[in-house]
Structure 1
Amino acid sequence: MRAGGRWLAPPEQWSRRRFAGEATAALTLAALAAGLGRLLGASVTVIGAEAVAIVVLSLLRRRLPATVLALTAALTPVGNAFLPLMMAAGWSAGRRITGASRAAAAFAGAYALCVAVALVDTWSASSALPLVLLTTLSFLAVAVVPGLASRYWTQRRTLLHTLRERNSQLLRERAMVAGQARLRERQRIAQDMHDSLGHRLALISVHTGALEVDRELTPRQREVVAVLREASVTAMHELREVVGILRDGVEAPAPASGDGTGRAARGTAGVAALVEASRAAGNAAELTYSGEARPLSAAADHAAYRIVQEALTNAYKHAPGAPITVDLRWEPDSLVVEIVNGAASHATGEVVSGGQGLTGLHERARLVGGMVHAGPVADGGFRVAGVLPYGAGEAAPVVDAADGPRRRPAEAPSGNGPWAVHRTLPEREWAAHGSIGHSRSGGIVLGCGIALGAVVLLGVAVLVGVFFLVGSLDKSMIEPSEYEAIEVGAAEKTVRERLPSGGTIATAGLDAKGPKEPEGSRCLVLMSSEPGQSLASEPVFRFCFKDGKLVEKKSYEVKR
């Protein structure tokens, strides 16, 4: 039983949901077949046999698509209840038969079986061509069109899946290449910083240390030299941390307070030391707190420290001697860091500046979900204010002038540096829509074109079929009054001139369903223009000729 179940399942794993869907589809097709059979007046035995066959074939159509298509095509001419199953079999065959040549061969074989069974079931030399035409039209509409639609849909879905996987692979490979290049550049920069800046800072530390113990210096000069020495030692520690970040990509945890080694606190706890160092350097600096202190994320805490540090540095360079106010306000939803310095008391000379300090502050705040504002104030001074949210925060979207807001992909590093990886427009469309925009629109246009062509072809075929069917009915149908007017014994030539020629697809097989024909006679079977007593029966008029005369006429009903 289990082996049979494993064989019945298609190559992919069947889930419970899929199995329930297949069972529901099979029972639905069986119910439709029973309804059609009941409408056509079939017996209960025939209806039950057809329902069982449809359930079995429906469950097998995924495992044996070509075989089920052929069997269904052979059974459809002898039982119209198989038409719904033919559509399902055509859909499965178009989707699951691999190779265009194999699919074409399977549909051609099924069509040949359908035509052969139809001719054998209702053979008549005069109606063979119309019967083949109608069978061809029905096979095109019920089997070929669903098969083409299913094959196109499956191939397009497979293509999009392949393109999506390749796009993801290219993004991963590009991120890896960019990461390797970024790592090599970081190592080069770290080595240059260590070799050049480290050497210079070490010289400054040594010389200031020797100068600090010089007996000829005044106490005020020794105090200033001590500040310089402490600043050089702190700079050396910070340089080591930056070099470590560049080499390893991991930032070392900053101390909460000074630890006696020259390392200052990094965060709001170190702001007081920055202000104190500013006072020691001769600046009038004031620090105020307001609100209840709350914990910040490590990145936001460090960003607050760097905002104060950069603002104080700018005040030293551009407004030496001006009063400075540092204010930390713990608001309900964020920390506000505000640094305001007064106007410069005298004109300053040319100031050496890299021009990247405030830009770096904006980026630091953005990465933690905050913002920084910097600008002059009314009294001629300068104000730097940062708003940093509590918690981890979220980076704001990067605004690109050409494409509008967008976010960095998960593979790309953060930042706007020269090694940052950003997605191009087609890649962002892949991420947003699951496929490339022009491929999607082109696929929709192509699919609509195929569907429109199939509908037009089917419409033309239906019109041709209706034309032939109307012509065949005109040649095989008479009024009951005309039947009554013809008398037995009349000349065959006279009777045939009054009657249609018959022998069309509409009357195919009716001669074999009536009473026994007179010995040695030739009979003409025609249909009545009036409907029968039920949908399951057809009124028929039969005229039999022998020796040039009408020897018998009969009126009876046959089952459809």
Structure 2
Amino acid sequence: MEASSKIRGGAGAAWRWLVGPEPWTRRRTAGEAVLALLMAVLAAGTEEILGGDGWRPAAVAASATVLSLLRRRFPASVLVVTGCLGPLLPGYVVLLMLVGWSAGRHIGEAGRALAAFTASYVLYVGTTLLNTWDWQAALRLAFVSTLYFLATTVVPGLAHRYWIQRRTLLHALQDRNSRLLRERSMVALQARLRERQRIAQDMHDSLGHQLALISVHTGALEVDPELTGRQREAVGVLRNASVAAMHELRQVVGILRDGTEAPVAPGPAGTGAVDESRRGTAGIEALVEAGRAAGKEVELRRAGEGPPLMAAADHAAYRIVQEALTNAYKHAPGAPIGVELRHEPDAFVVEIVNGPPAGPAGDVVSGGQGLTGLHERARLVGGMVHAGPVDGGGFRVAGVLPYGAVEAAPLVDAADDFRQQSTSLPPREGDPVMNWQADPLSDLSLTERELTMALREGGTPRSRTGGVALGCGIAAAALVLLVIAGGFGIFFLMSAVDKAMIDPQQYEAITVGTAEQDVRNQLPSGDSVATSGLHGKGPAEPEGSQCLVLMSSDVPDDITVETEPVFRFCFKDGKLIEKKAYDVRR
């Protein structure tokens, strides 16, 4: 048991060492495993195709797997090792691309990345030259190796590094832009608060003074002994109405000043001034009773039970009933009115329906803003209000309000749906609490709004499309560079083949004893990368001679044959002293 625990602990430590400080998700772990398996299969298959036998393909596959898994943890070291072993192990051709791509991202400092790629390049070219042992074609071989290394390693690394730097820059721009937006919103909020305080002060000084005078004069008039009982009752109603108006004004001033409702002291009975216990659904019954006392036919119905409403929603319900009853009194005099409060499973519904008016409405004073204000009240608490006529000539006002706190939906103008609405960012942790959706940054320019929407976290479809377009552009540029490098390589290879290949008939036409200069005039120079590695693989050369080894232009019918024919011409003392045709192992 203890041994198994130690084994599991050691395996866990090895895994943490492998993944490094950046944790691997299950998705990344599965992707790395599949990628390592793919590298192993490609490396083994390439080695097998290019003539590897025995344990060599399996060893190359195992080493490719290890290097693939270590490329994130040690990007510079893996890049250098792969560049050194690449010329010796043809199976590393795909692994070299993957390592270059990964190193471009995970090597942080530019100087360290340059040093790693330079060291890998030097080792790659040096190993290539040492592996051929043909110093006559060293320059051409170094040129081809350079093109190959640039195409397979440097280009993917630069492309990935550029992509990462661009993404980092966009994140930095996004963070800076969001900070500027929040700062501007806070400045605008402070300006609005100062303006609201000024308005509250003006209302308190002007309306408060006038209402206080009305209350004082009506109070004095109410005790006038010359008034009849009916007149005294009417004056009492006026005084109570002025007191109620003062309570309402105090509450509005409190909301304007600091955004909170001021506590309202209980008013005298029959004044219409509702206390704090009635400033919500609890006060709806008092509104209905007041209507009945005024001779109106008002019916109140309740249905269902549910959780209590939050304070803002509770107050909105009260205001919906109050405004609907006021409108019914004005525009449908004498009509029966039904008020229903219904607790649904997911919301609280308040519905006010009045029938057709029993008589002419006459001239009524209306500001035309009541229903608009109800819509805005409901929106700010996450609800909605519907108002419209019903069959038979009546009118219906219905509000749906949530039980809990719900973020208000953004206000979008239907006539401006071309992504030109102001965009507000959600507050970050530590920012002052404020209603970001309720305070959009309407003073932003179109360019700033487009930049904000393009740099939002998570990205919009436009930003994702831009990322795809950038990736396609990088891939296209890399493809063009690969095509150019491939064209140079093909041109160089064809030139090298022309300098290293003759027909068998041409070999037969040359006889031993012919002057060296005449023979060389008939044959290519053989100074080509294609003949690299052919010297010293055939029969022993005559002592003191200089030999020219060329390839045969005949292509064998069986491509699986592991040998190829070559022709050798040896010269001494200005004459051709020997010519031989033999096969060499590839």
Query: TM-score when scaled to structure 2?
Result: 0.78
1:398 is matched with which residue? Answer: 411
**1:263 counterpart SS class:** coil
Q: Secondary structure at the match of 2:493?
A: helix
Select the residue among 482, 486, 496 that pairs with 1:462: 486
Relative to structure 1, the CA distance from residue 26 to residue 251 in structure 2 (aligned partners, 3 Å threshold; closer, same or farther) is same
Deviations 1:40-94 (A, max 9, x none): 2224344444344434433443344333323322222222122222112211222
- Does 2:530 align with 1:530? no
Change (3 A) 1:100 1:396: closer
Change (3 A) 1:208 1:287: same
Q: In the aligned structure 2, how far is the partner of 1:71 from the partner of 1:294?
A: 73
Deviation at residue 312 of structure 1 after TM alignment: 4.8
CA-atom RMSD, angstroms? 4.2
Provide the rounded CA distance (Å) in 2 between the counterparts of 1:168 and 1:260. Answer: 53
Distance 1:512 1:227, change over 3 A: farther
Match of 1:62, SS state, is: coil
Distance 1:60 1:377, change over 3 A: closer
CA distance in 2, matches of 1:451, 1:225: 87
Which residue is equivalent to 1:361? Answer: 374
Q: Distance in 2 between matches of 1:7 and 1:180?
A: 52
Query: Which residue is 2:531 aligned to?
Result: 507
| C-alpha distance 286-258 of structure 1, shift in aligned 2 (>3 A) | farther
Where do 1:56-75 residues align within 5 Å? Answer: 56-75=66-85
Structure 2 CA distance for partners of 1:535 and 1:24, relative to 1, 3 Å: farther
> Match of 1:217, SS?
coil
2:120 aligned partner: 110
Shift of 1:138: 0.9
CA distance in 1, matches of 2:583, 2:134: 20
Task: Give the 3 Å change call, closer, same or farther, for CA 257–30 of structure 1 in structure 2.
Answer: farther
Report the counterpart of residue 387 of structure 1 in structure 2: 398
Deviates more, 1:545-554 or 1:83-92: 545-554
3-state SS of 2:412 partner: strand
Pairing partner for 2:338 from 286, 306, 327:
327
Matching residue of 1:370: 384
Shift of 1:3: 7.9
Equivalence for 2:5: none
Q: Report the Cα offset of residue 462 of structure 1.
A: 1.4
Q: Cα 1:432–1:52, aligned 2, differ >3 Å: closer, same or farther?
A: closer
Unmatched segments (≥5 aa) in structure 1: none
- TM-superposed CA distance for 1:257, in Å, is 13
Q: Cα–Cα, structure 1 residues 221 and 369, in superposed 2: closer, same or farther, change >3 Å?
A: same
2-side partners of 1:371 and 1:346: how far apart?
Answer: 25
> Is 1:84 matched with 2:94?
yes
Instruction: Report the alpha carbon displacement of residue 511 of structure 1 after superposing the two structures with TM.
Output: 0.8
Q: SS in structure 2 opposite 1:44? A: coil
> What are the equivalent positions in structure 2 for 1:232-381 lying under 5 Å apart?
232-251=242-261, 262-263=273-274, 265-267=278-280, 269-278=282-291, 280=293, 284-289=295-300, 292=303, 297=309, 299=312, 301-313=314-326, 322-329=333-340, 334-339=349-354, 342=357, 348=363, 351=365, 355-367=368-380, 368-373=382-387
SS of alignment partner, residue 241 of structure 2: helix
Give how far 1:520 is off.
1.6
- Distance in 2 (alpha carbons) for counterparts of 1:137 and 1:450: 19
For the residues of structure 1 that align with 2:535 and 2:437, how far apart are their CA atoms?
A: 88
Deviations 1:287-328 (A, max 9, x none): 135684665845555434323433554577x67x94354222
Once residues 538 and 256 of structure 1 are traced to their aligned partners in structure 2, the CA distance between those partners, rounded to angstroms, is 110
User: The residue matched to 1:523 in structure 2 has which SS?
Assistant: strand
The answer to whether the 8 A contact 1:304-1:337 is kept is no
- Is the contact made by 1:133 and 1:465 (CA closer than 8 Å) also made in structure 2? no
Say whether residues 1:413 and 2:430 are aligned partners.
no
1:135 Cα deviation (Å)? 1.1
Aligned-pair CA distance for 1:518: 2.0
The alpha carbon displacement at 1:388 in A equals 1.4
Deviations 1:188-238 (A, max 9, x none): 444444444444444444443444344433332233233333333333333
1:452 lines up with 2:476 in the alignment: yes
1:268 deviation in Å? Answer: 5.1
1:35 & 1:346 partners in 2: Cα distance? 93
1:472 corresponding residue in structure 2? 496
**Partner residue of 2:6?**
none
Q: Deviations over 1:333-359 (max 9, x none)?
A: 74432356849869659x5x6553333
- AA paired with 1:62? R
Distance 2:81 2:138 in 1: 22
Distance 1:267 1:3, change over 3 A: closer
Q: Which residue of 2 aligns with 1:542?
A: 568
Residue 154 (structure 1) aligned with residue 164 (structure 2): yes
SS in structure 1 opposite 2:86?
Answer: helix
| Corresponding residue SS for 1:540 | strand
The one-letter code of the counterpart of 2:486 is: V
Contact 1:294 1:330 in 2 (8 A): no
Contact 2:571 2:578 in 1 (8 A): yes
TM-score normalised by L of structure 1: 0.81
